[in-house]
Structure 1
Amino acid sequence: MSGIRTGFVGIGSQGEPMARRMMQRFPLTVWARRPEACAALAQAGAQVAGSLEALGQGCDHVGLCVVNDADVLEVCARLVPAMRPGSLLALHSTVLPQTAEAVERLCTESGVAMVDAPVSGGAPGAEAGTMTVMCGGAEAAFAQARPVFESFGRLIVLLGAAGAGQKAKIVNNALMAANMGLAQAALQAGEALGVERGALAELVAASSGRSFGFEVYARIPEPRAFEHGARMLLKDTELLAQILPGSQDSATLVETARPFLHLATAT
């Protein structure tokens, strides 16, 4: 086991298996607002910190995977000042690029390296160690973080300065949502023409119209069955709408994704 002391904050459906993969190679400390969220990792051998500050003080590398911009800024305001100079914060949450830039500035003030590193692959990818890690930050920080990222990631790419990883992740997720919306329209068109849905789904999956979004949509009985995933994709699609330039061409992805997402999340 490597001597890099790692920490993780954000023990959710994606963060928990990422942390488990890290723990296979590195000593791991975790913290959560709800102590019960750490119970399974503690039983597997992770240390549980008494506070965010204690976790920051004791780790060389901290992964952060909380849900939204406000949570990221709240956690970092406490965590980063407690981290030792020379340690590193990896921001795995999907947030606005300017939030990632603000976290990097906070880290710089404390002498802490930072990599903006949202991921793709979900819990199955984390469990298998096959996630895609979309990175933004300085080359030296990227090199420092990479050994830990390799515990759960297969494709690990440096895309530019802090915020670049967020931009890539937001575009990727909006494309996934748009593909699911087009899959819905395609299957509805097939049904209107009298083509059996299951047979059409099997055919497209083996043909030129296939996409991961189509495969996911074809497995669900109706849009509301994808409600949890759709809420996360809707959040990311709205982040893209906030940062896109104001041209109609650049808004096409957002407008294609929204109808399906609103249908899947309708109350």
Structure 2
Amino acid sequence: MRVGFIGLGNQGAPMARRIIEAGHPTTLWARRPATLAAFADTGAQRAASPVELAAASDLVCVCVVDDADVEQVVTGEQGVLTGLRRGGVVAVHSTIHPDTCRRLAERAKVHGVSVVDAPVSGGGRAAAEGRLLVMAGGESGTVAYCRKVFETFGDPVVHMGPLGSGQIAKLLNNLLFTANLATSADTLALAPRFGIDRAALAEVVLHGSGASFALDRVKAGGGSLDRLAERAGPLLHKDVRLLADLADTAGAPTGTVLAAADGALAQMGQERLTGPASPAPRK
């Protein structure tokens, strides 16, 4: 299968390298040409635009930052849909609103192209080691078609259900992670009050029943969320807002988890505004 990959950031770059190393003919495009320098030692081809990349691909993987970026590279004047063959597939690895994926699928259908949403979790190291969690949403046959590519960087690859369900699973995962950041940081902050060293408490709890990935990240950040704030804060803010929007629309109670996540966002200077979490999806 010929694969195109767009979005060569900290997570996308190792994903693309795993695809290349697995032997799939791969074409890359990046807004910043300097990003492609890291792939000079591979057999990957370079495209001058998303449309040129799509013309050389059967499956196009998109791993850019947000909804607007995804829509631009897929549906823009020089976007993927202009060049991808009928029967081709676009896989959205970005974490975005499920309605954005459904809207893209409607646009893609006119071109005879399918869309799957396949957000990932685990970070750059997991991508490089081929153990990202891939949460896929879409028609079962289309997900099966993509699976061998997804398995180059992902283990496990889980089909969650219809289009958009992968995004919902990822947003729920990130909501819980954000909430866990708050409870982890707050727990470690209690340690000095009882004459216990924060780092020592973190080391102990990481071997106990209170262990979590979030606690490990807080420990690595020195016991608070300050070091996480600059890089992770805006992304977690986006994801919590998206999930809050979905919950509000569905009338789904969020219990304590959204309140805890809001606590973490506040500690990172990313307070979530009350009211609608995002503009209404465009028709």
Q: Once the 2 structures are TM-superposed, how far is the Cα of residue 40 of structure 1 from its aligned partner?
A: 1.3
SS of equivalent to 1:150: helix
Q: Which among 28, 33, 46 is matched to residue 48 of structure 1?
A: 46
Residue 22 of structure 1 is matched in structure 2 by: 19
Residue 191 of structure 1 is matched in structure 2 by: 192
Residue 134 of structure 1 is matched in structure 2 by: 135
CA deviations 1:47-70 (Å, max 9, x no partner) are 110111111111011100110111
**Paired AA for residue 17 in structure 1:** P
Residue 179 of structure 1 is matched in structure 2 by: 180
Residue 160 of structure 1 is matched in structure 2 by: 161
* Number of equivalenced pairs: 264
1:183–1:213 Cα contact (<8 Å) kept? yes
Tell whether 2:110 aligns with 1:112. no
Residue 234 of structure 2 is matched in structure 1 by: 231
Which whole-Å CA distance do the structure 2 matches of 1:148 and 1:127 have between them? 14
Provide the TM-score with structure 1 as the length reference: 0.94
Residue 72 of structure 1 is matched in structure 2 by: 70
**Paired AA for residue 51 in structure 2:** E
Structural RMSD (CA): 1.6
% identical equivalent positions: 39
Q: Once the 2 structures are TM-superposed, how far is the Cα of residue 74 of structure 1 from its aligned partner?
A: 1.2
Which whole-Å CA distance do the structure 1 matches of 2:151 and 2:161 have between them? 19
Q: Once the 2 structures are TM-superposed, how far is the Cα of residue 27 of structure 1 from its aligned partner?
A: 1.2
Which whole-Å CA distance do the structure 2 matches of 1:83 and 1:248 have between them? 38
SS of equivalent to 1:188: helix
Which whole-Å CA distance do the structure 2 matches of 1:33 and 1:150 have between them? 26
The structure whose residues are more often helix, as a share, is: 1
Residues 1:248 and 1:151: Cα distance change in structure 2 (over 3 Å): closer
Provide the TM-score with structure 2 as the length reference: 0.89
Tell whether 2:34 aligns with 1:31. no
Q: Which among 252, 255, 258 is matched to residue 254 of structure 1?
A: 258
Q: Once the 2 structures are TM-superposed, how far is the Cα of residue 239 of structure 1 from its aligned partner?
A: 1.0
Which whole-Å CA distance do the structure 2 matches of 1:153 and 1:248 have between them? 30
Q: Once the 2 structures are TM-superposed, how far is the Cα of residue 80 of structure 1 from its aligned partner?
A: 1.5
**Paired AA for residue 240 in structure 2:** T
Q: Once the 2 structures are TM-superposed, how far is the Cα of residue 161 of structure 1 from its aligned partner?
A: 0.8
Q: Once the 2 structures are TM-superposed, how far is the Cα of residue 230 of structure 1 from its aligned partner?
A: 2.4
Tell whether 2:216 aligns with 1:212. no
Runs of at least 5 residues in structure 2 that lack an aligned partner in the other structure: 272-283
Residue 5 of structure 1 is matched in structure 2 by: 2
Which whole-Å CA distance do the structure 2 matches of 1:234 and 1:160 have between them? 26
